[in-house]
Amino acid sequence: MNGERTLGARMKRVEDPALLQGTATFSADLSLPGMVHMAILRSTEAHAEIRSIDTSKAVNMPGVLKVITSADIAGKIMPLPCIWIPGGAESHFPSHPFGVPGAGPVLATGRVRYVGDPVAVVVAETLQAAEDALEHIRVDYKSLPAVVTAEQALSADAPQLHDEVKGNLNALCTYGDKSAADSALENADVTVQLETLNQRTINSPLEPRVSLGEYIPETGEYVLRGTSQSPHDHRLLLALMVLGIPYNKLRVISPNIGGSFGTKGYLYADMPLVLWLAREIGRPVKWTDTRRGLMRSTVQGRDQHMKGWLCGDKSGRITGLKVESLANLGAYPSTIGPGVATAMVGRCVTSVYDIPAAYAEVKAVFTNVVPLGAQRGSGRAEATYLIERLIDLYARQIGLDPTEVRLKNMIRPEQMPFDNRMGWRYDSGDYPATFQRVRDLVGYDSIDAAKAEARSRGKYLGVSVTPFVAVSGVGPSPRMSKEGMLGGTWESANIKIHPTGEISVIIGSKPHGQGHETSFGQIVADELGVPLAMIEVLHSDTKRAPFGQGSYGSRSFSVGGAAVLQAAVAAKEKLIALAAHIFNVPATHVTFAQGKLYPNNEPARAKTVQEVALAMWYGWDLPHGMEPNLDVTTYFDPPDFNFPHGAQAAVVEVDEVTGQVDVRRFFGVHDVGVQGNAMIVEGQVHGGIAHGIGQALWEGAEYGADGQLVTRDLATYALPRATDLPRFTVETTITPTPNTALGAKGAGEIGTVGAAVAISNAVCDALAPLGVKHIEMPLRPEKICLAMQSAAQNSRSSERKS
Amino acid sequence: MKITLGVNGTRHEVDTAANRLLSDVLREDLGLTGTKVGCDTGHCGACVVLVDGVPAKSCCTLAVQADGAELRTVEGLSADGKLSSLQEGFQEHHATQCGFCTPGMLMSLTHLLEHDPNPDEASIRARLDGHLCRCTGYQNVVDATLYAAKKNASPVKMIVDSWGKRFYENQVRCLIAGDANRLVEENYLPDATVQSFDWTVTGHEALRAHFGNYMRWVKIIEVVSTDKFTETDNTVCFEATVRSNRGVVRVYDVMTLKDGKITYHFTGVK
Amino acid sequence: MSSAPFAYYAPETLDQALELLGSNSSVRVLAGGHQLVPVLARRELRADMLVDLRRVNALHGIRPTGDGVILGAMTRLQEIAQLPALVGSALSDAIEALGDHETRLQATIGGSVASLEAANDVLSALSVHGAAVECATPGGNETVGLETLLRDGLPKSAIIVAIRLPDAAPSTGSAHVRVRDPASLYPICAVSVSLRRDSKGRVKDPVVAVTGATEKTCRLSAAEEALDGQSFPPVLERPVLTANDCVSDHVSGAEYRALLGNELVRRAVSQAASRVAR
């Protein structure tokens, strides 16, 4: 190779021309001959007994083909399964006839448990006819008391949501050393504590979900087209556990996805319904969600009610940490919700710090709200929020600068690999270096002048510098089985060189905006020395791809990319072996450079990769034992997780009267190991930061005491807009991980993990002169005003006392 | 109901129920699925198209309301597969990730650039206020728009001859004199000079009305300063600070040359 | 997502529109549509008939009068905000701040006045401009002052024809400031102020209106009284809005709305005062 490497280069995305010209196909754009439309009647009650459902009027409406309720599918469509259960703990689930943990019936059976629970569906010739008919289904509900928070659900007199789950407790999971943490707390000079609700958020990808089912009688094959972040996982679970059909008779195709951030990796009732109905009716059945439908049925995020105790000495040395958290799972366990809500919080609470005694326990609890799933950075963002808020409180208590306290306790590079005592083994990275860099970028040492200047304008200025580490790259399959994952978590790749020279790379992973077609292509282009334009990356069709998984937990590039690299390396080895045969030299005497192979020092005899591959296709003269064709499939199962890390700094201004927060500047230094495309990594970081800022300042799913979702659409649920956000200044460092073949770490969630607390800490820093210690997210102006007012009252009353 | 829609230069006769949304008719009846629908309250902006040149949310517009209108959608932005400067900027600056919100943003920003060829970051962000993007954090969208503005500006050089210069000087004189009619007559009614300049000024009447209002509502007392008279790249603009009956205001206007055609953007008072 | 079926008419004259309006009890008037159409599509509101006013010529156009301007009801808001005479006024501020760009380009002044929403920047601003609303009713035309409109609403079965906006008196300045709900983009609270400075350098004819914070858009007489006769620049010493005057919802409590209202009145007063030509 000479010149710039393809891997890591800021290459323009190959996906873009279609997306920019409106020719890229999304699920909602799909139409099949004879297609009919499904609409779902969702529960309007948070918790109620279904006394009766009268569909007689709806079924006779014009254009209506079928109306079904749970009675029509009993024994035909099984309940959804839950496949990530809390590992190493006793857990309780709704039942499932196949003996796996259940995740609730496809259509509410006897009882509804949240506003949005699917109750009945209508299939009609047009969507309009289906929607018209929905209005004529009469459901007689007998309201039952509802619980909205995890705390309420655990109380003695709380209604029981599932017969199989006593006291609504799914599981109690513990991590770390309880007695060590208790003893550290008992013997500490200083202890700070915080109780906080990491509020429930609604992921809000711009594209609502879609499922389009087709049944092909000729082959007995079902085809699901739709918004699936994990088409292979969905294929297995739907075939094996929900529809009870052979694995090879279900094909899942997922076209372009309009954002997901975790939500579209879950199983939803509409998926088996459209497939089953397609066979029943004999025509393709399409269901398209609306925004309001999404808000009350697609999995939501966060919702950890946390208590933390941090202790240390007066010099700033942290000696212990204890965390108790209540995870609000919602009405049913989502596909992987219980695992995400427990391990991803409990094992992450110590973050980048070397804390000698730490313990965390998470209780996962059922309530009458939308099921909980993943939201970009899930678990890690909540854990990071708690520890970073606690450290600020601790630093303030002992009168030290919080950045100094952080550095004092931060894991040093020479401690790598580092056992965090909670179950993770951090791989690599210079945590203090990224932290120092961000501290310099934000101009931390001269921030007092900026604060004074802001005061002259009626603003309080605050700053924060927060480090973070985020377990990524799910995951080593044997380890994940111990974490309660009922399935493998390896990833796959296939490389084919066509006789005409083009290269297809087929991956098991699935993009939803991350540009896999570009960055995965860059791996192969880099390794084989061929132009990116010669390479196509295919994905998202279970019939075309080898066995695969999907994208979640920042695993696509770090785990799936590793599989691609392995395939490219294997392809290269085979090309060299054939070239050695052609040139009649030993393989060690073949030079492979810039897509060409030649005997060492004889570049004039070079043959291109394509020429050698064509020789394999003809198969006229292959070395003994070599099979024809260049067609390599590999699987990669990482030996351990990977741990991208970094630090972010925020500068905010708070209006002294109105409490309005203005994010003035935002800096970040992120280390995701080896990068596939630096521009794409930067884009992921930008988007991640925006999510974090969104949670800190505006976002929050609000339920009434009756379980009604108040934030039910984009007119009531606030997402960050362009005028709300500042320009981000981001840099990266590159510390490869030993745990993936590429040295790549996860990049999709890293921006989010620290961003919310970076904003929260900065706002609390801004208001510190008033005596404000903590304000809960979202940091809405009203809440800030109240905090400022009560701080002012406290200081007045303490003045009177002194 | 039978309606006629001009879409990206093609005329379509559509028979549609009155309650159908423009977004649905574009996507379902005309197969133009580039326009996306992301919400049901008009808050996401993914469905924005240009209706008679003006951005509109197609999910908040009945198809029948657009009867007889000329529409532009994302499918009409590129020509023969050649991306527009804005689309190119989106690719150069990685301004699209999942791509679902992109079509709406492209339409709004296309409109912005056509009316303000040289927008600053604040005005781009203000324009994006009606668009939600969950992937990018908006920064790369801003950069893509700045890229397009720069690209549009650089390749063509516009030469303003002595007539052009006189045109502007005369305009300022008319403003001072408060003589709207003279201004209109001398500068806007078609005459040989103007035609030879290949004006694509649309809606003389609109302009005249605009000027009429202008003169009635702002009586210019004196020009405080002529702040800008530039003919950089393909753009000519002037800005002047004038004292008027409404206090001190800045008047400005901009003219751009693109693809051999001059577009005149009267932008009035800042 | 689709609304229930309805009949649709786009008449060409006001008389036809009025006739259609009277022909059915469940009829809605369609102006720009960006507010009404999605509400219908979500089936939160039903109509048997929509009367689209876009073809009614009489409702279009901006006509200067000797002492003001008549804004046809179908004039798009953005056009109004850019009228030179209105730049730097409460109405222009209000339009530039409301909603998003597409809404400002599509929404009409008539539609905004007849709006379904309680938080209404345009109404608030129009009230400090001393605007009047010209309505056509089956019984003939009627001109309704903004104060009457705020109190009693529109006359029954009326179509707004135009908004009459008088020229601001000399030495008058106005402003509109708001804090928006980040989700809906509607104001949590918005305040419009207009002030005149008399020959003795005192505040004359102060008008203050608030929207978003209160149940309906309304004048703030306490603020007007406090401002009247003050020497320039006027200052409000005491709060003019209390939590009792304000609404409470999931977006914000009444206490905060009152706090915001008082601060925004101060800011709008100071902005309006700075705009009074010297």
pLDDT of amino acid B171: 54
The chain C residue lying nearest A781, using CA atoms, is C256
Instruction: Judge whether residue B121 has pLDDT over 80.
Output: yes
Least CB-CB distance to B125: which of A290, A691, A722? Answer: A722
Sheet strands (E) in C73-199: 132-137, 140-145, 159-166, 172-180, 187-197
Taking one residue from A and the other from C, the number of pairs with CB-CB distance under 8 angstroms is 44
Instruction: Judge whether residue B213 has pLDDT over 70.
Output: no
Single-letter amino acid, residue B77: L
At A18 the three-state DSSP class reads: helix
Chain C contact for A132, CB < 8 A?
Answer: yes
Strands A190-201 and A418-419: unpaired
Whether the Cβ atoms of residue A227 and residue A207 lie closer than 8 Å to each other = yes
Decide if B98 and A15 are in contact by the 8 Å CB cutoff.
Answer: no
Q: What's the gap in Å between the CA of A353 and the closest CA on chain C? A: 36
- pLDDT interval class at B254 (50, 70, 90): low
Query: Rounded to whole angstroms, how far apart are CA atoms B88 and B117?
Result: 16
Instruction: Judge whether residue B259 has pLDDT over 60.
Output: no
- pLDDT interval class at B249 (50, 70, 90): low
pLDDT of amino acid B29: 97
Q: What's the gap in Å between the CA of A289 and the closest CA on chain C? A: 9
Least CB-CB distance to B61: which of C5, C37, C99? Answer: C37
* Maximum separation of any 2 CA atoms in chain B, in Å: 58
For chain A, list residues with pLDDT below 50: 1-2
What is chain C's length? 278
Which residues of chain C make contact with A657, given a CB cutoff of 8 A?
259, 263
Whether the Cβ atoms of residue B168 and residue B238 lie closer than 8 Å to each other = yes
Q: Among A667, A669, A670, A666, which Cα is nearest to A644's?
A: A670
pLDDT of amino acid B182: 43
Decide if A17 and B140 are in contact by the 8 Å CB cutoff.
Answer: no
Decide if A687 and B125 are in contact by the 8 Å CB cutoff.
Answer: no
Q: C-alpha distances in angstroms, C78 versus A212, A751, B84, B120?
A: 42, 38, 27, 20
Whether the Cβ atoms of residue A548 and residue A520 lie closer than 8 Å to each other = no
Which residues of chain B make contact with A666, given a CB cutoff of 8 A?
none
Decide if C102 and B57 are in contact by the 8 Å CB cutoff.
Answer: yes
Instruction: Judge whether residue B186 has pLDDT over 70.
Output: no
Say which residue the tokens 């992301």 belong to: B38
Q: Among A148, A88, A470, which Cα is nearest to A329's?
A: A148
The chain B residue lying nearest A677, using CA atoms, is B94
Decide if B100 and A207 are in contact by the 8 Å CB cutoff.
Answer: yes
Chain A contact for C259, CB < 8 A?
Answer: yes
**Helix, strand, coil fractions of chain A, as percent rounded to 5:** 35, 25, 40
Chain B contact for C49, CB < 8 A?
Answer: no
Q: What's the gap in Å between the CA of A512 and the closest CA on chain B? A: 6
Decide if B55 and C102 are in contact by the 8 Å CB cutoff.
Answer: yes
Query: Rounded to whole angstroms, how far apart are CA atoms C105 and C34?
Result: 10
Decide if A261 and B99 are in contact by the 8 Å CB cutoff.
Answer: no
- Angle B180-187/B204-217 helices, nearest 10 degrees? 150
Instruction: Judge whether residue B200 has pLDDT over 50.
Output: no
Query: Rounded to whole angstroms, how far apart are CA atoms A491 and A633?
Result: 11
Residues A58-85: b if buried by 16+ CB within 10 A, e if exposed: bbebebbbbbbbbebbeeebbbbbbbbb
Decide if B61 and C100 are in contact by the 8 Å CB cutoff.
Answer: no
DSSP assignment letter at A776: P
Query: Rounded to whole angstroms, how far apart are CA atoms A305 and A545?
Result: 41
pLDDT of amino acid A318: 98
The chain C residue lying nearest A657, using CA atoms, is C263
Query: Rounded to whole angstroms, how far apart are CA atoms A277 and A293?
Result: 20
Paired with B240 in beta bridges are: B226, B251
DSSP assignment letter at A269: T
- pLDDT interval class at B216 (50, 70, 90): very low
Q: Among A37, A430, A374, which Cα is nearest to A211's?
A: A37
Instruction: Judge whether residue B106 has pLDDT over 60.
Output: yes
Q: C-alpha distances in angstroms, C73 versus B214, C60, C63, C220?
A: 20, 6, 12, 27
Whether the Cβ atoms of residue B168 and residue B228 lie closer than 8 Å to each other = no
pLDDT of amino acid B71: 97
- Residues near C179 by Cβ (< 8 Å), separated by ≥ 6? A658, A660, A781, C187, C188, C189, C190, C260, C264
Q: What is the side-by-side strand order in the sheet with C27-30?
A: C7-9, C49-52, C27-30
For C83-95, the DSSP string reads -GGGTTSHHHHHH
Taken in order A531, A534, A540, A544, the sign of the CA dihedral is negative
pLDDT of amino acid C118: 86
Q: Among A708, A686, A685, A710, which Cα is nearest to A700's?
A: A710
pLDDT along chain C (278 residues), means of 10: 90 95 90 95 94 94 89 95 90 96 96 88 96 94 92 90 94 97 97 96 96 96 97 94 96 97 97 87
Sheet strands (E) in A688-734: 728-733
Task: Count CA within 13 A, CB hemisphere, residue C79.
Answer: 20
The chain A residue lying nearest C189, using CA atoms, is A658
Residues B71-100: b if buried by 16+ CB within 10 A, e if exposed: bbbbbbbbeeeebbbbbbbbbbbbbbbbbb
Chain A contact for B60, CB < 8 A?
Answer: no
DSSP assignment letter at A4: S
Instruction: Judge whether residue B139 has pLDDT over 80.
Output: yes
Q: What's the gap in Å between the CA of B246 and the closest CA on chain C? A: 7
Chain B contact for C10, CB < 8 A?
Answer: yes
DSSP assignment letter at B137: -
Query: Rounded to whole angstroms, how far apart are CA atoms C18 and B30?
Result: 35
- Residues near A799 by Cβ (< 8 Å), separated by ≥ 6? none
Instruction: Judge whether residue B223 has pLDDT over 80.
Output: no
pLDDT in tens, B20-52: 999 999 999 999 999 999 999 999 999 999 999
Query: Rounded to whole angstroms, how far apart are CA atoms A550 and A563?
Result: 13
Instruction: Judge whether residue B218 has pLDDT over 50.
Output: no
- pLDDT interval class at B206 (50, 70, 90): very low
pLDDT of amino acid B247: 62
Instruction: Judge whether residue B155 has pLDDT over 50.
Output: no
Q: Give the distance, in angstroms, between the CA of residue A568 and the centroid of all CA atoms in the same chain.
A: 28
DSSP assignment letter at A137: -
Q: Among B122, B131, B124, B111, which Cα is nearest to B36's?
A: B131
- Residues near A796 by Cβ (< 8 Å), separated by ≥ 6? none
For C225-243, the DSSP string reads HHHTTPBSSP---S----G
Q: Which of B21, B29, B49, B60 best tests the C interface by mutation, with the highest count of C CBs <10 A? A: B60
In this prediction the pTM is 0.92
Query: Rounded to whole angstroms, how far apart are CA atoms B166 and C16?
Result: 50
Q: C-alpha distances in angstroms, A731 versus A349, A516, A669, A751?
A: 25, 22, 5, 12
pLDDT of amino acid B217: 36
The separation between the first and the last C-alpha atoms of chain C, rounded to the nearest angstrom, is 55
Chain A contact for B102, CB < 8 A?
Answer: yes
Which residues of chain C make contact with B66, given a CB cutoff of 8 A?
none
Query: Rounded to whole angstroms, how far apart are CA atoms A158 and A147?
Result: 7
Angle at C61 between CA C58 and CA C64, to 5 degrees: 110
